[in-house]
Amino acid sequence: MTVIAEAHAGSGAPAKKSAAAAKKTYSYSSDDIKRMLPHRWPMLMIDRAHDVVPGVSGRGVKSVSVNEPFFAGHYPDHSIMPGVMIVEAMAQLVAVVYVAEIVEAPEPPAEGDPSASVGYLGSISSMKFSRLVVPGDQLSLEAKLGQRLGGLRQVSVRATVGSELAAAGSLIVTTGRKA
């Protein structure tokens, strides 16, 4: 994990520190993400996370390779990343933002596996796919956590390739696992 920056007021004059100004952003490598999420190959769908404000928002990257196992059958003569895998990549970024709140707490838990706090995808709403994602593309992912609804959390997500929107919508995720 790398601390990237601390938000500062834009003017040259001294400013009062607000709660938002005190928020730090973090960057996570693929190895950090493996410690944060329970997912493993072939289902680990994000390569890097950055600009993560724990419990609030973050950005991530998924480099799409022709070697992805789903391309063998979707479609053999015209490789297209399945929409459900794009949604999964966005949902995993949401999990990183959520787990970062635990990992980066002033007094993180002494014991335990932070990946155990990753919940489940509960709902996909208003998801629109605007562009095909193919081998060689780099998906830029964004997630903004919204309000809590009991044990659920509403999230806005989007994925782009370059400046082109590939997918956008809303997710509802659980804030923990129940057996």
List, for residues 62-91, the tens digit of each pLDDT value. Answer: 999 999 999 999 998 999 999 999 999 999
Q: Is residue 94 part of a domain?
A: yes
State which residues form the domain around 145. 20-174
Question: Which of 135, 130, 136 lies closest to 160 in space, CA to CA?
Answer: 130
Question: Does residue 53 lie within any of the structural domains?
Answer: yes
pTM across the whole model? 0.86
Is residue 47 situated within a structural domain? yes
What is the three-class DSSP state of 85? helix
Does residue 29 have a pLDDT over 70? yes
Would you say the C-alpha torsion 97, 47, 123, 142 has a positive or negative sign? positive
What is the reported pLDDT for 17?
Answer: 43
Q: Say yes or no to pLDDT of 126 above 80.
A: yes
pLDDT of res. 22:
58
In order of 90, 136, 138, the CA distances from 163 in angstroms are: 17, 15, 11
pLDDT at 122 over 60: yes
pLDDT at 8 over 60: no
What confidence score (pLDDT) does residue 112 get?
A: 77
Mean pLDDT of the chain: 88
**Tens of pLDDT, residues 128-159:** 999 999 999 999 999 999 998 888 999 999 99
User: Residue 57 is part of a domain; what is its CATH number?
Assistant: 3.10.129.10
| pLDDT beyond 60 at 11 | no
Instruction: Compare 117 and 62 and report the one with higher pLDDT.
Output: 62
Q: Binning pLDDT at 50, 70 and 90, where does residue 3 land?
A: low
pLDDT in the model for residue 2: 57
Q: What is the pLDDT of residue 4?
A: 47
Which residues does 35 contact at the CB level (< 8 Å), separation at least 6?
114, 115
Residues carrying an active site annotation? 74
Is residue 179 in a domain?
no
Share of the chain above pLDDT 70, in %: 84
Q: Answer yes or no: is pLDDT of 32 > 70.
A: yes
Question: For residue 175, what are the contacts with CB-CB under 8 A and spacing of at least 6?
Answer: 98, 119, 148, 151, 152, 153
- How many domains are there within the chain? 1
- Tell me, yes or no, whether 12 lies in a domain: no
